[in-house]
Amino acid sequence: MAFKDLTSRAVLLYDEWIKDADPRVEDWPLMSSPIPQTLIIGAYIYFVTSFGPKLMENRKPFDLKGIMAVYNFFMVLFSVYMCYEFLMSGWATGYSFQCDIVDYSRSPQALRMAWTCWLFYFSKFIELLDTIFFVLRKKNSQITFLHVFHHSIMPWTWWFGVKFAPGKLLSWIWSIWWIDLYFFLYKSKSLLGSSTVKPGTYPNTFLAPTLITALCGAP
């Protein structure tokens, strides 16, 4: 009985909370409820921390250079496209740097901005492939807590943003979109056979603060 009461209260609290969501995104993929993304992220965590490494334990690592090159190239183009959309849906066509309220109208520009925010949210699911590639290549030392935490928490933070405020206040993060772009270009360079970068050189010195910025909520 106590569990039933607790469940009923949780449902009531959820209904009260969700009523303030943006109705424009209700029917968009993954936006009607947090349950689908919870299942996806849960499956991701289980695969990269338990099932995947055990599956690969007695297998040879996959050679994924070709697939990863295509993936990185696609993500570079996708990052550039999202930056362009953020600019054209507001930041280069009228937004100021003041703290303005979100435009919840159904004007073409407001909907374009909301959809671009959703695209950025969806890109976080595509980036889960980073860790899956580590697993399949048996690069288990690179599957760190911070890596898994970052990839697991980003879809959640952006789900809330797109669900309640898909507009200017959320889209300011486009200004540091280059973090994603830098990482994908850097990984592409490595795949092309560049020599290992020694500690203390510019790329490694730059990667540390870049990763810290990303872990704090950047792309």
Catalytic (active-site) positions = 150
Cβ neighbours for 210, distance < 8 A, ≥ 6 positions apart: 179, 182, 183
Structure tokens at 201: 């050189």
Report the C-alpha gap between 44 and 61 in whole angstroms.
Answer: 19
Backbone angles phi, psi at 77, to 5 degrees: -65, -40
Structure tokens at 212: 């810290």
**Helix (H) or strand (E) run with residue 176 in it:** none
The answer to whether 76 and 161 have CB atoms below 8 angstroms apart is no
